[in-house]
Amino acid sequence: MPNPRPPNPPPPDPRDDIRSNMMRSIVMEPLASELVAATLAPEHRFDVIIWLNEAFHGGVAAAADAVFEKTNPFDPAVTVSSQYCFARLNAAQIHELAADTRSQIRENGRNAAPIFQIWSDNDIQTTLTRSLVTVKADAAQRSFQALGDGIVWAVLDSGIDAAHPHFLEYGNLDVAAPLLHTDFTANPDSALTDIPGHGTHVAGIIAGRWLSALPDGEAVIGRETRGEPGEQTDVHAEALTTIFGVAPRCKLLSLKVTGPDGGGKVSWVLRAIERIQQWNQCGKRLLIHGANISLGYDFDPRWFACGQSPLCVEVNRLVRAGVSVVVSAGNGGYSLDKFSDTSVTDPGNADLAITVGSTHREMPHTYGVSYFSSRGPTGDGRLKPDLLAPGERIVSCAAGRERARYASLPGRILYCEQSGTSMAAPHVSGAIAAFLSVRPEFIGEPVRVKNLFTSNTIDLQRHPYFQGAGLMDLMKVLQAV
């Protein structure tokens, strides 16, 4: 008699996934799933962020000491900041730390464990002539002399090319001690060099000025034009007479958090934020008034607490300490041949950050929100992005690989076009710097500043999850106070 066919397994219950995701855990996704796959390669090491337990009975400093003592034998290069421990550990070591933490909690309660959670140290990616008119920065400069005098803005990016003439006239990179341009990457070099060219382009949108010595301008803009199918891209130069940042006289502090390939680690950004807190004495003296973060990484829905990743938490803390933090929304608005909602990246999901989407540089009412600009809402239903600024084909400083694209052209190329929400965010950073320079009573009041900028926008008649509050308008903000 033939054996009976085994019954088909029951279909998976979707509630099991929800139940699993909502359980309290020490090792957070996606690291938890990666550890399962790592059983075949026990020697593989993971870059991790160990979030220290601020409620530890000995205090956070004692928690840091306890975690360092435990992890140092695993990784002699382990480092500890005020809130986090950064290490490279294998799967067995991570499991051991998690098991110890669970045991301490079971036996003596949550405050007995120095570790709160263990996160993957995610990889991050870096996501002006006519665009100034779009946000009315040119009118603000003429009418209010809103030029950024006395304001210092940190640029957390790939570095700033100190040799670029755009920053020479106003000495934008001449910051006073104790401030220091700093490289936080794995192989630190000068923070005033920029191999990818992303950070210099971002910085040039915020501040600086260049004026041609020739009355008809010089051919210093490199442009690319797409060819017909089968043809090469056309590369040519165009003339430029003058170009300004949104807040031309604002000082810029380069905090390099991405490497030569344009990628970086969350831990590098966390270190940069902590350094800002140290310089500012956590709000007791504001040497740095704002920060631009034109980079990010995808939110993982298995965290379930959107906006509560270590990076989002530290951005919120920095805002509470008096620093305006402007973040690009991300470029995930269109992928896999369809538009994507809930695509805002971290740290754009941070509640107190000013998260910026992209629109057309000259015709925002016609074209609305850029197709690539990440859309809201956040994973927990909050409105993001907060507002829009120009992010399409923005002309700003060329450096590193971006300048090398035009090496075949005669003469010197100083500027180029780039697109993305990375270009939209510094328009807002520059606008806030310009605003604070003429309305100093709002220095150290980033929540009030955010409310002013989101309450005085231009409505492009698009859905709030696409445009946020609308297009930034610096003149409306200045006139509102």
Q: Write out pLDDT tens, residues 349-368.
A: 999 999 999 999 889 999 99
Task: Name the most confidently modeled range: 298-307, 330-339, 470-479.
Answer: 470-479
Q: The CATH number of the domain where 36 resides is what?
A: 3.30.70
State mean pLDDT over 371-393: 94
Q: Is the pLDDT of residue 51 over 70?
A: yes
Q: Is the pLDDT of residue 129 over 80?
A: no
Q: Is the pLDDT of residue 455 over 60?
A: yes
Total domains in the chain come to 2
Binning pLDDT at 50, 70 and 90, where does residue 132 land? Answer: confident
Q: What is the pLDDT of residue 16?
A: 56
Q: What is the pLDDT of residue 97?
A: 95
Q: Is the pLDDT of residue 450 over 80?
A: yes
Q: Is the pLDDT of residue 478 over 90?
A: yes
Last residue of one domain, picked from the residues 121, 156, 172: 121
Q: What is the pLDDT of residue 100?
A: 93
Q: Are 216 and 171 in a shared domain?
A: yes
Question: Which of 34-48, 71-85, 208-222, 386-400 has the weakest average pLDDT?
Answer: 34-48
Alpha carbons 406 and 73: distance in angstroms, whole number: 49
Q: What is the pLDDT of residue 226?
A: 72
Q: The CATH number of the domain where 141 resides is what?
A: 3.40.50.200
Q: Which amino acid is at 457?
A: T
Q: Is 270 exposed, middle or buried (0-12, 13-18, 19+ CB in 10 A)?
A: buried
Q: Is the pLDDT of residue 228 over 80?
A: no
Q: What is the pLDDT of residue 33?
A: 84
More confident residue, 408 or 152: 152
CB-based contacts of 223, cutoff 8 Å, min separation 6? 235, 236, 237, 238, 416, 417
Q: Are 95 and 226 in a shared domain?
A: no
The reply to whether 18 falls in a domain is no
The reply to whether 74 falls in a domain is yes
The reply to whether 11 falls in a domain is no
Q: What is the pLDDT of residue 341?
A: 84
Q: What is the pLDDT of residue 123?
A: 85
Q: Which amino acid is at 160?
A: I
Q: Are 148 and 99 in a shared domain?
A: no
- The CA–CA distances, whole Å, from 9 to 2, 13, 14, 17, 234 equal 20, 12, 15, 17, 59
Q: What is the pLDDT of residue 3?
A: 60
The reply to whether 129 falls in a domain is yes
State mean pLDDT over 198-214: 96
Q: Are 146 and 281 in a shared domain?
A: yes
Alpha carbons 412 and 264: distance in angstroms, whole number: 30
- The CA–CA distances, whole Å, from 153 to 249, 278, 313, 349, 421 equal 11, 15, 20, 21, 18
Mind listing the pLDDT tens digit for each residue in 142-151?
889 999 999 9
The reply to whether 249 falls in a domain is yes
Q: What is the pLDDT of residue 18?
A: 54
Q: Are 71 and 137 in a shared domain?
A: no
Q: How far is CA 347 from the centre of its chain?
A: 6
Q: Is the pLDDT of residue 37 over 90?
A: no
Q: CB–CB of 170/207 below 8 Å?
A: yes
Mind listing the pLDDT tens digit for each residue in 263-283?
999 999 999 999 999 999 999
Q: Are 144 and 89 in a shared domain?
A: no
Q: CB–CB of 432/443 below 8 Å?
A: no
Q: Is the pLDDT of residue 7 over 70?
A: no
The reply to whether 9 falls in a domain is no
- The CA–CA distances, whole Å, from 19 to 25, 160, 233, 300, 441 equal 12, 47, 52, 16, 49
Task: Name the most confidently modeled range: 24-28, 153-157, 305-309.
Answer: 153-157
What is the rounded average pLDDT for all residues in the chain? 91
More confident residue, 174 or 131: 174
> Which residues constitute the domain of residue 410?
125-480
Q: Are 353 and 402 in a shared domain?
A: yes
Q: Are 420 and 445 in a shared domain?
A: yes
The reply to whether 14 falls in a domain is no
Last residue of one domain, picked from the residues 121, 140, 173: 121
Question: Which of 136-140, 313-317, 451-455 has the weakest average pLDDT?
Answer: 136-140
Q: Are 171 and 42 in a shared domain?
A: no
Q: What is the pLDDT of residue 15?
A: 57
Q: What is the pLDDT of residue 127?
A: 64
Q: Are 108 and 152 in a shared domain?
A: no
Alpha carbons 402 and 195: distance in angstroms, whole number: 9
Q: Are 164 and 278 in a shared domain?
A: yes
Percent of the chain with pLDDT over 90: 74
Last residue of one domain, picked from the residues 95, 121, 147: 121
Q: What is the pLDDT of residue 299?
A: 81
The reply to whether 467 falls in a domain is yes
Q: CB–CB of 273/262 below 8 Å?
A: no
Q: Are 94 and 134 in a shared domain?
A: no
